[in-house]
Structure 1
Amino acid sequence: MGNWNTFTKKGVTALLAAFLLVSVQGPSRSFAAEINAEVPKIIEKTSPSVVAIIGKPTYDSNKTLEKNRFNLAHGTGVIVEAGGVIVTNAHVVKDMKNIVVVTSDGTTYNGHATNIDEESDLALVKIEASGLSPATFASSSDIKVGETVAAIGTPISFALRNSVTVGIVSGLDRSVSSQYQLIQTDAAINPGNSGGALINMNGEVIGINTMKYAEFGVENLGFAIPVDTVKYVLQHFKQYGKVKRPYLGLELEESWEAVVGLPSSTGLRVAYVDPDSPAAAAGIEQDNLVVSIGASKVKTLVDYNEAIKKYLPDDKVDITIQSGSSTVTKSVTLGEVLHPETKWKEDAEGSDLDADRGKTKIGDSHFGWSMKYPAGLVKGRQSEDGNSINFVDAKGEFSLSIQVDSESDELSPSALLNKLTGAEEDDYGYGDEAPSTILERQYVKREGGPFAKIVGRSGDQGYIQTRGFLHEGRLYKLQLFVTKDHYNNDFKQNSYNDLLDSFKLSFNAQDESLKDISVYSSGNTTYTNEYGLSFALPSSWQKSSYTGNSSFFNDDYSQMVQVRVTSASSGDTLAAWSERERKQFEAQYVPKYRKIEKPEELTLAGVPALKTAYAETLGNKWTAGYSLFFIKDKYKYQLEVSYPQDEEGAEVNDLLHTLTSTIEVDKESMDQELGFIQDLDELMDPDRTITYKNEKYKYSLQIPEMWTSSKSYDNKDQVSKSFLFTGGYLTIGADTKQSYEDAVKEEDAAQKKSHDNDSEYVFTNEETTLFGGVKAKKYEVNYASAKVPYKETTYIFNQNQISYTVTLRMDEAVRTEANEARLNKAFASLKFLDAAKK
């Protein structure tokens, strides 16, 4: 079952769509009263079945990101069982943790998501309660276009929970941005009401609100999940713990009419058939048209989903298809779509919605400072080692930054004041703001430590107070910015000064009311990728990523861990894989410049693995390392550790132990959209070539496909094209203005100058012919640059009034027979376009 036109549909409907949390604020109260004087009674009857839901958003694992106590997500739910089972939208709770449910009477319960189905956008939340008021569900056949409906929910803010609005059913069988049909209502929809009830004038739930269109100029366009879809999902949750969806193995394509919303006259085109699927087994082929599922005609993907949800996996269903001019019916035994299970998310600090409850002070244990922690103080940016941090006020009245830098304790009061007057960049490249007008400048002596103080205006925006403390070789700089409106309020100003006065150059680890925000660590950090792989490295290491790889470096970049994950091809084995890698390594370096040991067997992530130790050099310093190989859950995992060979010892051994002892693969945490990731090394042919053609300078040649290329210009605008490989290159320079004789003179002078500068630089030159008679000058050099020996051959010749300079260079370390043959073959393939035309 596919959705080939998701992007197309989004394009068609982009003027409308935005998933939002739902609330209805439509007609005025007088209009509502005119529609139905019984609305208050109906709302009074139904409200106890509607709850508000609030929780924390799920965060990235980045340790410098703040778990902002005010950054909360909220939505709405409907009670379906008196024992505390609540239905809501999947998008409300799928990324929510530490869920709290508030009933209409204000009672608060801790809850957690037990079932999530993103395709229907429905989920269940469980709370430990009894005697609740379950909602009554209507029959879908009783819903009529134009009937009055009301919505109860939590729009905009959690403080507005149990808001009620009234509207009508604007349309049925809508299918915008959903797998299933939706109810359209003219009720205005606002963030926070997702998962709330859309009820009829009998007090029955006819749908669960799910989205609104919020594009500029679009009004009164909201949607709800119909009651029959809700009942279908709830029944599956109860019976199976999930929605058991049948699987056919088809990617289906709608007609143009269906995409733009016109009535379609054709079925769904089969764009792709999974080779191992039920559809393939039944003989359904690409470009067939699916006309019906059982007795249900299908012309849109929503038609298809509505039809297929009537069946269960392992059911047999008749599928009518059109192939060319003939129509046939296929009997298909359905498979099952597999989805990951719901996991109960809880914050590492516990289930409390406010993880900072009871914390009245905040500080950093590593840098040794603390201060008061007002309820409205929100932590913002923080540097990786914690020496720079910013706070803002939840109401937007002020901001506060703290910067800790190394500084001599001998700095005089005047020098310290002068230092605070200027603006400096923090670890993020953001500059501290310097006041435009200084209002106060003094050195304050107080018990607990003196400090320098600068107060000034920041243009017309507000006021800045900066304080600087010297302590044990560090400068602690506090900078408070207050908006103009609040600074002139004496009461507010006293509270700001009280916050600054509370700053202390101490941290009491025994004080339970003190929150530690230190991110500094001398231990390890665990990394996880989309393939379920996790491992630990020292916290001082840094990560960089690019397509297909992740690299990790220590603080001076001398040590590196590189991670590569690809799919295991059918029939591949651990031994065969590591042997291919060994052969590639040996083919790259001559024996004198490489070492590789026999693979060592070990266990990683609970499966057999191999560790291969190696070392390589270009002639100066040796680089050593280990390659770790293992295969698990259809993927090949390779971790390569490299470091300078002269650093071998306890530190490297500890690194390897930390890495190998923490490697794990969790299948459940894999990205569910991952497919087959081809290992390019399996397809690589080092001798395969491609044609490079330069029309301007009239030449072509065959270059190994695995080489890379670059272009450069010298100060005379001579163009050089370089083809690069590990340890060498082939460069072609072309000049239409320089004669052969001048080019030779220039090269003679350059070679002689190099020899004069270094007597070990020795070159030879001779007249020769190339390409069947072309006069050329050949220069050959064998030299060691920075202890890296290499051989370089340069040819100068003229063809078609163009002077060419071709240089072939290869380090001795990589001068294997195969590498040298590839380089010489590439040069020998040089052809001149005009000559080729003759």
Structure 2
Amino acid sequence: MGKWNIYTKKGMIALLTAFLLISLQGPAPSYAAELNSEVPKVVEKTSPSVVAIIGKPSKDSNKTMEKNRFNLAHGTGVIVESNGVIVTNAHVVKDMKNIVVVTSNGTTYNGHATNMDEESDLALVKIDATGLSPATLASSSDIKVGETVAAIGTPISFALRNSVTVGIVSGLDRSVSSQYQLIQTDAAINPGNSGGALINMKGEVIGINTMKYAEIGVENLGFAIPIDTVKYVLKHFQLYGKVKRPYLGLELEESWEAVVGLPSSTGLRVAYVDPDSPAAGAGIQQDDVFVSIGTTNVKTLVDYNEAIKHYLPGDKVDIKIQSGSSAATKSVTLGEVQQRETKWTEDAEGSYLDADRGKTKIGDSHLGWSMKYPAGLVKGRQSDDGDSVNFIDAKGEFSLSITVDSKQSDELSPSALLSRLASDEEDEYSDQSSATILERQYVKREGQPFAKIVSRSGDKGYVQTRGYLYKGKLYKVQLFVTKEHYNNDFKQNSYNDLLDSFKLSFDTKDESLRDISVYSSGNTTYTNEYGLSFALPSNWQQGGYTGSSSFFNDDYSQAIHVRVTSASSGDTLTAWADRQTKQFEAQYAPKYRTMDEPVELTLAGVPAMKLGYSNTLGKKWNAGYSLFFIKDKYKYEIGVSYPKDDKGTELDELEKALTSSIKVDKDRMDQELGFIQDLDELADPDRVVPFKNEKYKYALQIPENWTSMKSYDNKDQANKTFVFTGGDLSISADSKTSFDNAIKDEDAAQKKSHTNDKEYVYSDSEVTLFQNVKAKKYDISYATAKIPYKETIYIFNQNQITYTVSLRIDEAVRTEVNEARLTKAFESFTFLK
């Protein structure tokens, strides 16, 4: 904590003493005086070229979370053309919409991003303006380590725009998290400085601030994009609208020395060569070592990127490589890196930075309430159906919540209503043992009476709760105020005014009233990382337990599951759907399944197939269909399931909404997606794995795709069950119960089951297992069970251990293949010594 001493009384005394000692030592060096006069001049010269950029984040969020007027992002930019062309960092505007640019003199302009290059972290923003002051750009070759520089930007808060920090150039040719070289500086660079100017003492821009290194114990470590890289990107933006990068088609690997920052005598090793690429065509192979590109030696990836940026796609370049013990020069005609197109969108709520501009009231049109909407009120979390919403004050002085209980009787007396509010408050503040009720009354306000309770919540603050009964609903409005603000009379008046503005009505014609209702009778569109999007009714929701690829209606009776895998070489839509059909038919016996004829259709602009089916394990039938299509090297399967009895208009509308809205946007795919193997293509249902129980001295071969049910991860437990769809193999080992007693117990259990239900049928017999092991066998059939099944139980003894093995299979899945697989697993049973 010593480094913070200057903020203590003792630290301030020490600081003042040190300052006086310095003063007594004589005047400051002349260069310091010169610097003090020089910095204001260059800042004054350059500041008109630096602008602040603010906008709204465009990342998708939960519909119940607020995109409010205070939810903003900001950064900095540098004017490079007098007609309103501004350069900034790509990361500043990548996820920003409704951009507003503020110049140094306070003039505000609407702006939009026109070009972006994430590799260099540079972008252009355009505003409709003329006569601006473009910055003077230096040359990277003139930058010297140790020279004085100043950073101009918008750190931390938009209110701090055009802040200036001063330092020196700490280093050149740095390569921290960048494809290109960076300038290191100790001039303070903080969040919001991104995109701002790093200037020399001539008032020239030598770099665009891009990042700082932030960690406890690390200070004054910032980085800027050198001005020559900025000029390179600006030129490409001007000529091509994007940065045209050469493509070789290989992956390069640095030496260990280069990775840790040591000088490296080794070039870049070729880790991979893409077939049919320019590099492959030139004969460059894996494990070759790059020595130079043109006349530039390359030993790091930054060396490589700095060298290759001097060429354009289509250029020929000589690449010197070391292949084993021999050197060679390869002439390569460069291809072009394909980049994702950047799409810019404006907020659906309009182009204003403040989405709530002109809104002075807020409410819920579906639940029928409204109130005043002060500028500092921020909407927080809202429940899925809108019956609960909370607000906070932007300054942190108070919070407000509104809940609506739609199942409350209008017949509650004032006394009962007050008791209900008090009970709710006790539940909410049950941990506040010192909570004290300060006021409790029923206010007979004309047209809108309410119950009111004011209480002090320990040392935290004060709570006022109001309850309104109206048309079968209980509206509860609760205000919490911090202790330091509650006793301020002026503040009290403003809080009561806000509460008094609450009304049990919503005027749909009032344009100043913002509607926060989440109720919708329409559809909601979902998009996943594979670029797939589709619309579902608004009452559907993403599954919380099975992942974001599952969706359910409000009572979970209907479901949609999405599966995306890569299309293997040579795979076709017909072959894929045929595999799924055979897999389904192999799983269920004919009596317990139906399969519709495949239907060809078009989804996402490509051929698709629909396979309808139904199946049951007993009395209740499930139905559904799967939609299959292949696009952009990926296979998309959307499975819809529901109770068979649900067929009707609702499901027809669901299918229509789903199939008409399915789209695949390649630009919205996660750029890090690779090959995703379809496990069904590799799965072998007959493949077995060994299982051993050393304690109870047995082993057997179990199908790999069966699931082992276990309470613990202990293979040597007495009871073990292996489960497959519609059946299981269960083994119980007992070293304390004799063979005869086990049979007596099982005989009694079987007789009791038959006595209780004559439809439960069994027979028993004596058999010999595993060549010479005496056993008792029970064959059980229960055709009228909710899920009809057959079961075979074997009881036998070996090595003074009594084994009870059950083979159970539901009639619905009792196919020849499944039954043979179950029998084979049991017959693999062997005893260990």
Task: Say whether the fold is shared (TM-score over 0.5).
Answer: yes
Q: Distance in 1 between matches of 2:517 and 2:303?
A: 55
User: TM-score with structure 1 length normalisation?
Assistant: 0.92
| Structure 1 residue 263, shift from structure 2 partner | 1.4
The aligned counterpart of 1:492 is: 491
Give yes or no for contact 1:548–1:565 (8 Å, CA) kept in 2: no
Aligned in 2, Cα 1:679/1:433: closer, same or farther, shift over 3 Å? farther
Aligned in 2, Cα 1:547/1:383: closer, same or farther, shift over 3 Å? closer
Amino acid of the residue matched to residue 419 of structure 1?
Answer: R
Amino acid of the residue matched to residue 155 of structure 1?
Answer: P
What SS is found at the alignment partner of 2:549?
strand
- Greater Cα shift, 670-679 or 807-816: 670-679
Q: 1:545-584 alignment to 2 at 5 Å?
A: 550-584=549-583
Give yes or no for contact 1:362–1:515 (8 Å, CA) kept in 2: yes
- Where relative contact order (Cα < 8 A, 6+ residues apart) is larger, the structure is 1
Amino acid of the residue matched to residue 72 of structure 2?
Answer: L
Give yes or no for contact 1:461–1:483 (8 Å, CA) kept in 2: yes
The aligned counterpart of 1:328 is: 328
| Structure 1 residue 314, shift from structure 2 partner | 2.4
| Structure 1 residue 32, shift from structure 2 partner | 6.4
Q: Distance in 2 between matches of 1:396 and 1:347?
A: 28
Question: Is 1:193 aligned with 2:193?
Answer: yes
Give yes or no for contact 1:186–1:220 (8 Å, CA) kept in 2: yes
What SS is found at the alignment partner of 2:578?
helix
| Structure 1 residue 540, shift from structure 2 partner | 0.8
The aligned counterpart of 2:418 is: 417
- Greater Cα shift, 491-500 or 410-419: 410-419
What SS is found at the alignment partner of 1:109?
strand
Give yes or no for contact 1:435–1:464 (8 Å, CA) kept in 2: no
Give yes or no for contact 1:112–1:345 (8 Å, CA) kept in 2: no
Give yes or no for contact 1:712–1:720 (8 Å, CA) kept in 2: no
| Structure 1 residue 281, shift from structure 2 partner | 2.9
Q: Deviations over 1:557-576 (max 9, x none)?
A: 11111211222222222222
Q: Distance in 1 between matches of 2:426 and 2:574?
A: 53
Q: Distance in 1 between matches of 2:431 and 2:414?
A: 20
Aligned in 2, Cα 1:546/1:259: closer, same or farther, shift over 3 Å? farther
Amino acid of the residue matched to residue 454 of structure 1?
Answer: I
Q: Distance in 2 between matches of 1:791 and 1:158?
A: 73
Give yes or no for contact 1:363–1:516 (8 Å, CA) kept in 2: yes
Question: Is 1:40 aligned with 2:64?
Answer: no
Question: Is 1:158 aligned with 2:148?
Answer: no
The aligned counterpart of 1:277 is: 277
What SS is found at the alignment partner of 1:306?
helix
User: TM-score with structure 2 length normalisation?
Assistant: 0.93
| Structure 1 residue 320, shift from structure 2 partner | 2.5
Amino acid of the residue matched to residue 413 of structure 2?
Answer: S
The aligned counterpart of 1:798 is: 797
Give yes or no for contact 1:549–1:564 (8 Å, CA) kept in 2: no
Give yes or no for contact 1:732–1:804 (8 Å, CA) kept in 2: yes
Aligned in 2, Cα 1:321/1:395: closer, same or farther, shift over 3 Å? same
Q: 1:435-446 alignment to 2 at 5 Å?
A: 436-446=435-445
Q: Distance in 2 between matches of 1:236 and 1:71?
A: 34
Amino acid of the residue matched to residue 422 of structure 1?
Answer: S
Give yes or no for contact 2:754–2:760 (8 Å, CA) kept in 1: yes
Q: Deviations over 1:439-475 (max 9, x none)?
A: 0011111023111111011110110101111111111
The aligned counterpart of 1:210 is: 210
Q: Distance in 1 between matches of 2:547 and 2:459?
A: 50
Give yes or no for contact 1:140–1:226 (8 Å, CA) kept in 2: yes
Q: Distance in 2 between matches of 1:337 and 1:460?
A: 62
- Greater Cα shift, 590-599 or 359-368: 590-599
Question: Is 1:56 aligned with 2:69?
Answer: no
Q: Distance in 2 between matches of 1:520 and 1:629?
A: 32
Q: 1:503-582 alignment to 2 at 5 Å?
A: 503-544=502-543, 550-582=549-581
The aligned counterpart of 1:23 is: none
Question: Is 1:114 aligned with 2:114?
Answer: yes
Q: 1:58-137 alignment to 2 at 5 Å?
A: 58-137=58-137
Amino acid of the residue matched to residue 411 of structure 1?
Answer: L
| Structure 1 residue 274, shift from structure 2 partner | 2.4
| Structure 1 residue 38, shift from structure 2 partner | 2.4
The aligned counterpart of 2:654 is: 655
The aligned counterpart of 2:219 is: 219
Q: Distance in 2 between matches of 1:220 and 1:477?
A: 52
The aligned counterpart of 2:9 is: none
The aligned counterpart of 1:749 is: 748
Q: Distance in 1 between matches of 2:430 and 2:529?
A: 36
The aligned counterpart of 2:16 is: none
Aligned in 2, Cα 1:434/1:586: closer, same or farther, shift over 3 Å? farther
| Structure 1 residue 140, shift from structure 2 partner | 0.9
Q: Distance in 1 between matches of 2:746 and 2:285?
A: 66
Q: Distance in 2 between matches of 1:478 and 1:434?
A: 23
What SS is found at the alignment partner of 1:508?
coil
| Structure 1 residue 548, shift from structure 2 partner | 8.7
Q: Distance in 2 between matches of 1:266 and 1:696?
A: 57
- Greater Cα shift, 336-345 or 96-105: 336-345
What SS is found at the alignment partner of 2:55?
strand
CA RMSD across the alignment: 2.2
Question: Is 1:585 aligned with 2:565?
Answer: no
What SS is found at the alignment partner of 1:641?
strand
Question: Is 1:698 aligned with 2:697?
Answer: yes
Q: Deviations over 1:258-315 (max 9, x none)?
A: 2222212212223333234323333333333223222222222212221222222222
- Greater Cα shift, 341-350 or 251-260: 251-260
What SS is found at the alignment partner of 1:669?
strand
Amino acid of the residue matched to residue 144 of structure 2?
Answer: K
The aligned counterpart of 1:377 is: 377
| Structure 1 residue 104, shift from structure 2 partner | 0.9
| Structure 1 residue 252, shift from structure 2 partner | 2.3
Give yes or no for contact 1:420–1:454 (8 Å, CA) kept in 2: yes
| Structure 1 residue 124, shift from structure 2 partner | 0.7
The aligned counterpart of 1:257 is: 257
What SS is found at the alignment partner of 1:640?
strand
| Structure 1 residue 433, shift from structure 2 partner | 8.1
The aligned counterpart of 1:777 is: 776
Unaligned runs of 5+ in 1: 1-26
The aligned counterpart of 2:149 is: 149
What SS is found at the alignment partner of 2:788?
strand
Q: Distance in 1 between matches of 2:665 and 2:250?
A: 29
The aligned counterpart of 2:310 is: 310
| Structure 1 residue 547, shift from structure 2 partner | 8.3
What SS is found at the alignment partner of 1:356?
coil
| Structure 1 residue 215, shift from structure 2 partner | 0.8
Q: Deviations over 1:116-175 (max 9, x none)?
A: 111111111111111111111111111001111112111111111111222111111111
Amino acid of the residue matched to residue 475 of structure 1?
Answer: L
| Structure 1 residue 545, shift from structure 2 partner | 6.7
- Greater Cα shift, 250-259 or 100-109: 250-259
Which runs of at least 4 in structure 1 moved beyond 3 Å after TM superposition? Answer: 30-34, 423-426, 429-435, 545-549
Q: How many residues align?
A: 802
- Greater Cα shift, 825-834 or 104-113: 825-834
Aligned in 2, Cα 1:743/1:300: closer, same or farther, shift over 3 Å? farther
Give yes or no for contact 2:540–2:554 (8 Å, CA) kept in 1: yes
What SS is found at the alignment partner of 1:566?
strand
The aligned counterpart of 2:830 is: 831
Give yes or no for contact 1:113–1:342 (8 Å, CA) kept in 2: no
Aligned in 2, Cα 1:449/1:802: closer, same or farther, shift over 3 Å? same
Q: Distance in 2 between matches of 1:617 and 1:430?
A: 50
The aligned counterpart of 1:248 is: 248
Aligned in 2, Cα 1:273/1:702: closer, same or farther, shift over 3 Å? farther
Aligned in 2, Cα 1:549/1:763: closer, same or farther, shift over 3 Å? farther
Q: Distance in 2 between matches of 1:284 and 1:434?
A: 76
Q: Distance in 2 between matches of 1:48 and 1:90?
A: 22
Aligned in 2, Cα 1:221/1:233: closer, same or farther, shift over 3 Å? same
Give yes or no for contact 1:548–1:564 (8 Å, CA) kept in 2: no
What SS is found at the alignment partner of 1:341?
coil
Aligned in 2, Cα 1:69/1:433: closer, same or farther, shift over 3 Å? farther
Aligned in 2, Cα 1:157/1:32: closer, same or farther, shift over 3 Å? farther
What SS is found at the alignment partner of 1:340?
coil
Amino acid of the residue matched to residue 421 of structure 1?
Answer: A
Q: Deviations over 1:320-339 (max 9, x none)?
A: 33333333332222222222
What SS is found at the alignment partner of 1:666?
strand
Unaligned runs of 5+ in 2: 1-18, 23-27
| Structure 1 residue 434, shift from structure 2 partner | 9.3
| Structure 1 residue 745, shift from structure 2 partner | 2.8
Aligned in 2, Cα 1:318/1:610: closer, same or farther, shift over 3 Å? same
Q: Distance in 1 between matches of 2:309 and 2:732?
A: 67
